[in-house]
C-alpha cells in the first residue's frame, strides 16, 4: 500500500519548482492533494492536466494579510479533514541597505510571505488538528536559516530563521495534542531561480564548493516531505533536516 493513501495534504506554492516535485512525490504515494498557487494560471492548468485525479488546486495571495485565512477556508471547504500542511511557498526578495524604501519593502514582503503567512497557516492547522487527534506540519526553511543570507537578502535569511523557531515551538508546545512539526533546510536546489544564477556564472562555479559536485535535485526535497508526511518518524518532531549535499553541515 502506498504510504500516504487516505491522507489529505495541503501544499502551498504547489505548481512550480520544489512545490511541483512535492506534489509529484505525494501523488505517487497515494495522497489526496490540495495544492495552492498564487498567480500562475498556466502552471496550474498544466498540473491539473498531468494529475487529473486526487489533486485540487486553489488560488490565494499570501502576500496579503488575509491570504492564509482565505487559503485555509478554501482548503477546508474542499476536504473535511486535512492531515498534513506543507508550507512550501516562498519568495526571495532583496532588501538592500542603500535605499530606505527598498529596505522596508523587502522586509515587509519577506516577513509576510516567508514567515507570517506560514505562521497563520500553522495556527489554523493546530486548531484543526487539536480537534481531530493530531496532524503534521512541514515548513520549508533554508540553509540561510542557519547561516544567514547575503547582504542584499538579510530579510530573507531572518524570515527563514524565524520559521525554524516557529517549527520548534510548535513541536514543543503541541506535541501532547499529537501535532508534529518538522522543518527542511535546503541549500542550492535546481529550480528555475537557481538555473538563472547558474546560467549567469556557469555550472562549474556553482558546484565547485559543493561536496557532491552537483546542485540538489528538487526530487530529494520532495522525497523527504513524503516520508515526513507519512508519520513514520513521530519522535523526530521539532527537527530541522538539512538537504544541502553537505554544503552546510551542523
pLDDT at residue 14, as a whole number: 97
Are the beta carbons of 93 and 110 closer than 8 angstroms? yes
Task: Name the fold adopted by 8-240.
Answer: Rossmann fold (3.40.50)
pLDDT at residue 188, as a whole number: 85
Domain ranges of the chain: 8-240
pLDDT at residue 1, as a whole number: 57
From 37, 92, 129, 156, the catalytic residue: 156
156 included as an active-site residue: yes
Are the beta carbons of 32 and 57 closer than 8 angstroms? no
- What is the rounded distance in angstroms from the CA atom of residue 62 to the CA atom of residue 236? 29
What is the pTM for the complete model shown?
0.96
- What is the rounded distance in angstroms from the CA atom of residue 242 to the CA atom of residue 141? 9
Reading the block at residue 19, the C-alpha cell is 512545490
Per-residue pLDDT in tens (0 to 9) along the chain, 250 residues: 599 999 999 999 999 999 999 999 999 999 999 999 998 899 999 999 999 899 999 999 999 999 999 999 999 999 999 999 999 999 999 999 999 999 999 999 999 999 999 999 999 999 999 999 999 999 999 999 999 999 999 999 999 999 999 999 999 999 999 999 999 999 989 887 777 768 888 888 888 888 999 989 999 999 999 999 999 999 999 999 999 999 988 8
- What is the rounded distance in angstroms from the CA atom of residue 31 to the CA atom of residue 6? 6
pLDDT at residue 47, as a whole number: 94
Considering only the C-alpha atoms of the chain, give the largest distance between any 2 of them, rounded to a whole number of Å. 56
Quick one: DSSP state of residue 217? Answer: P
Quick one: DSSP state of residue 216? Answer: B
pLDDT at residue 203, as a whole number: 83
Are the beta carbons of 26 and 226 closer than 8 angstroms? yes
- What is the rounded distance in angstroms from the CA atom of residue 138 to the CA atom of residue 180? 8
Reference 181, options 130, 129, 139, 140; nearest CA is 139
pLDDT at residue 202, as a whole number: 85
Amino acid at each position: 500500500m502506498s504510504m500516504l493513501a487516505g491522507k489529505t495534504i495541503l501544499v502551498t506554492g504547489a505548481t512550480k519548482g520544489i512545490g511541483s516535485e512535492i506534489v509529484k512525490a505525494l501523488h505517487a504515494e497515494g495522497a489526496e492533494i490540495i495544492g495552492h498557487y498564487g498567480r500562475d494560471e498556466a502552471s496550474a492548468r498544466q498540473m491539473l492536466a498531468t494529475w487529473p485525479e486526487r489533486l485540487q488546486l486553489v488560488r490565494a495571495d499570501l502576500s496579503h494579510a488575509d491570504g492564509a485565512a482565505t487559503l485555509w477556508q478554501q482548503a477546508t471547504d474542499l476536504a473535511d479533514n486535512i492531515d498534513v500542511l506543507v508550507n512550501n511557498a516562498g519568495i526571495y526578495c532583496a532588501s538592500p541597505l542603500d535605499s530606505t524604501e527598498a529596505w522596508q519593502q523587502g522586509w515587509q514582503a519577506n516577513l509576510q510571505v516567508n514567515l507570517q503567512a506560514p505562521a497563520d497557516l500553522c495556527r489554523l492547522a493546530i486548531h484543526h488538528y487539536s480537534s481531530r487527534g493530531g496532524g503534521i506540519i512541514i515548513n520549508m526553511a533554508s540553509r540561510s536559516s542557519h547561516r544567514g543570507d547575503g547582504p542584499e537578502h538579510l530579510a530573507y535569511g531572518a524570515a527563514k530563521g524565524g520559521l525554524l523557531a516557529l517549527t520548534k515551538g510548535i513541536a514543543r508546545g503541541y506535541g501532547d495534542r499529537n501535532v508534529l512539526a518538522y522543518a527542511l533546510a535546503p541549500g542550492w536546489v535546481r529550480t528555475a531561480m537557481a538555473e538563472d544564477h547558474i546560467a549567469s556564472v556557469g555550472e562549474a562555479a556553482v558546484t565547485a564548493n559543493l561536496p557532491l559536485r552537483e546542485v540538489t535535485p528538487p526530487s530529494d526535497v520532495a522525497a523527504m516531505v513524503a516520508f515526513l508526511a507519512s508519520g513514520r518518524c513521530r519522535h523526530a518532531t521539532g527537527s530541522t533536516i538539512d538537504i544541502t549535499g553537505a554544503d552546510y553541515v551542523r
